[in-house]
Amino acid sequence: MADVDIAPEFSHVFRSLSRPIKSTNAVIFGQDPYPTRGHAHGLAFSVDQSVTALPPSLRNIFTELSSDLGVTRRSGDLSDWFDQGVLLVNRVLTTQTGFSLVHSNFGWQEVTDAVAHELGRHDVVAILWGKSAGELSRYFRPEWRIESVHPSPLSAYRGFFGSKPFSRCNAILMAHQKSAIDW
């Protein structure tokens, strides 16, 4: 598999897993990387700062962020969330450029199950969007879990919009004497 054929680029495949668990306050699980060349950069739902036409799911996330907290974002690069301890990890860590879910049978779910299992043993808020992420709910205590449908245009109006995941996450963190995230 050549570097140019996968998303994200090989050097970014494990980017989301590069921080210590003890510095993780929240985790947002995605499905698989954006298949558009140049979009995926190793953080779920995030795109490289050079991307100006944001993917529809990310636009919906920003719509909910604005509705929930009044925060307006222009850049789709969520590295600042990651730097604050928000793990942004996909269930499937790679895909073939141009195609979604092509690598769903590579065993990535075993890796992300292990990540969820370990995170669930710590005080980490799990934000689980969609069916794929919801499969991990068993690893997290109910009081540390926020679940809704996926932010994609196909499902956002069936429970993602209005779910207030950002304020709910901060409320959980602050109730446990942890710092809120500057979304």
Cα Rg, the chain, nearest whole Å: 15
* Top-confidence residue, 84 or 99: 84
* Rounded average pLDDT over 126-143: 96
Average pLDDT over residues 87-92: 96
> Comparing C-alpha atoms, which of 129, 141, 149 is closest to residue 172?
141
For 2-49, the pLDDT digits (tens) are 445 998 999 999 999 999 999 999 999 999 998 899 899 999 999 999
Of the candidates 32, 48, 77, 123, the residue annotated as catalytic is 32
Contact at 8 Å (CB) between 57 and 152? yes
The predicted model gives 40-60 an average pLDDT of: 96
CA 61 to chain centroid, in Å, comes to 10
Domains in the chain, CATH or no CATH each: 3-175 (3.40.470.10)
**Known catalytic membership, residue 32:** yes
Q: Which pLDDT score is estimated for 4?
A: 52
Question: Is the four-CA dihedral 41, 47, 48, 50 of positive or negative sign?
Answer: positive
Residue type, 73: R
